[in-house]
Structure 1
């Protein structure tokens, strides 16, 4: 029989892996992070009339649709064949949805200086906001790629025409718009309202008004350029997600806390002794997505001759074969009817808005280009009439070969 006095205090030590107060606090923090993130997104989905997220497998290709066809007249003589109206739906890959990984840390020094609650809460809120911006940023990029383009002389008319264009487009597709969402620049709204006071509500980083300017919901943001109005039917928008609570992650020792009700995001926190920080990890695969690009109106405002050339951010790196370069463009085409054109020259080629680039070389957005080191490639996005709308330039880097 053991002599308890000889064993000393070890008899009373807590057993290994006991769930204590510290572990409970960490778990509560993880739960708070994912539930508040989910509630914010759910609030936006409710405003947009999206009743549920659609689950996708990791690395699923998201495709936009374009409906083509015209209604044929049935006004024919007795016994004559009635013309058939044919409609086709063309699908085009737009992007890929996949699990994305993020990490942030809170140092021991920050916790010591500000206290645990302040240091952790401040960084958690900022982390959460940045993750929301990842989702909204991709959504804005697609909205700006809408192909129902137009031009109006006044801002009020641009709003009205944007709404009218998307409703009419859905009617042609034999669909009924359940409502219309509009995106406008913050300064444009206040310029329109003058001294009038308005109260903006917020959901998932979107500031909005309901039943305003003839739209069901108007989002007010600096993400939309001044003198631009964007609109789309509410039922053109879909929400996709990749499940961050995949059981295979847990089997691999990667456990994340998720919200059982929404499952939008996974979050995990743990101490890292080698760097003395509180390590925090988030994974998510979320997309707000418009099914039909040609049901997104992008209407500019002002006199046509005052429009300015947009900017493209492009980079050049060595291609896979000798004498070739690989271009990368940060932006997407603003319209499915637009295309890329480029000119390879010893110096930058000057471009102005509306400039005709029909005779420039066409680029498919992927293929490597044969060029010369030190040359400049000027890339232009042009409309269906080959008129320049955006432009960028990069000094060429080529594969020098053996």
Structure 2
């Protein structure tokens, strides 16, 4: 019996191979989660920068986590006698800063998980992006909430013209701030409830702009009016743009950000990261942020009541 011992010749083995091979997993395909982190970090920080510009805030203060920020009232001045004879020693006057309140800035941490089933059903982009967008909006909401809480601690002022509604209240804010900051060029910023602004918008056909999740418009006096439901209805609160400060923990560029591979832009307002958690078949979003917007001088914040509905 003859046995065919000839081996089949694999012609493809001698063919010229092409690289890269089909279906090779490359860096761009595996790095999509990082791109999402950069994208969402940019969205948050760009919104906050736009809000900062709309408010006219020029003072950014990077701080360490756990730092206590002192909010000042009107300083007390002990003025020495200025009638000094020629050649005599001029007595010292003394200024005592008055700390009206303190606020500690801490790093806040948030995490969100998207299930593998949700990614399978809706696709990675839709399942992750929709929930990440909602997460970002809520973090922005908390940043605004801290600001509105501090602003609404302003001292009440008598409205010069209650019959003129919102316009009269804005005029009172403008005049009061000119008095408080008499040595400075003041750009008034006002916060009000949307329903208190609605009538003025209807009557005067004002155009609303939007930034950082807030609507705003500019009054005839140059006063910028921001609307939010977090502001008490029936009162408007105002301060000077130069009285507002943004303190933040540089989450993206700090040792923390580098150790955990957080992505951020050069502001460092937030640090963000996407990663897979195989044990639960979820794609997770990690976000850390420490941002506090506050008025440096609480005596530079005023509260003006609007006319009652029956007035």
Equivalence map 1:326-341=2 (5 Å):
none
| 1:240-273, Cα deviation, whole Å (9 max, x unpaired) | 110113553267x5221111x2111100011112
| 1:155-197, Cα deviation, whole Å (9 max, x unpaired) | 33222112211221112xxx40431111122111122343554
Tell whether the 8 Å contact from 1:167 to 1:233 is kept in structure 2 after alignment. no
Q: 2:120 aligns with which of 97, 101, 112?
A: 112
Is 1:133–2:144 an aligned residue pair? no
Instruction: Please identify the structure whose Cα radius of gyration is greater.
Output: 2
Report what 2:284 is aligned to: 279
Q: 2:195 aligns with which of 184, 187, 193?
A: 187
1:278 Cα offset (Å):
1.0
- Which structure's relative contact order is higher, taking Cα pairs within 8 Å and 6+ residues apart? 2
Is 1:163–2:169 an aligned residue pair? no
Question: 1: CA distance between counterparts of 2:58 and 2:82?
Answer: 42
Instruction: Name the one with the larger strand percent.
Output: 1
For structure 2, list consecutive stretches of 5 or more residues without a partner in the other structure. Answer: 1-9, 11-18
Q: How many residues matched?
A: 284
Q: 2:151 aligns with which of 137, 143, 147?
A: 143
Aligned residue for 1:46, secondary structure, equals helix
Equivalence map 1:295-334=2 (5 Å):
295-302=300-307
Question: Structure 1 residues 247, 151: closer, same or farther in 2, change over 3 A?
Answer: closer
| 1:20-45, Cα deviation, whole Å (9 max, x unpaired) | 33322111111111112111111111
For structure 1, list consecutive stretches of 5 or more residues without a partner in the other structure. Answer: 6-11, 307-402
> TM-score if structure 1 supplies the norm length?
0.63
| 1:294-324, Cα deviation, whole Å (9 max, x unpaired) | 1000122346xx9xxxxxxxxxxxxxxxxxx
| 1:277-304, Cα deviation, whole Å (9 max, x unpaired) | 211000011011100001000122346x
Question: Structure 1 residues 13, 199: closer, same or farther in 2, change over 3 A?
Answer: same
Report what 1:219 is aligned to: 226
Equivalence map 1:62-81=2 (5 Å):
62-69=69-76
Tell whether the 8 Å contact from 2:178 to 2:186 is kept in structure 1 after alignment. no
Question: Which segment drifts farther, 219-228 or 56-65?
Answer: 219-228
Is 1:257–2:263 an aligned residue pair? yes
Question: 2: CA distance between counterparts of 1:67 and 1:247?
Answer: 35
Q: 1:243 aligns with which of 250, 261, 265?
A: 250
Instruction: Name the one with the larger helix percent.
Output: 2
Tell whether the 8 Å contact from 1:143 to 1:230 is kept in structure 2 after alignment. yes
Q: CA RMSD in A?
A: 3.2
Question: 1: CA distance between counterparts of 2:185 and 2:78?
Answer: 19
1:112 Cα offset (Å):
2.0
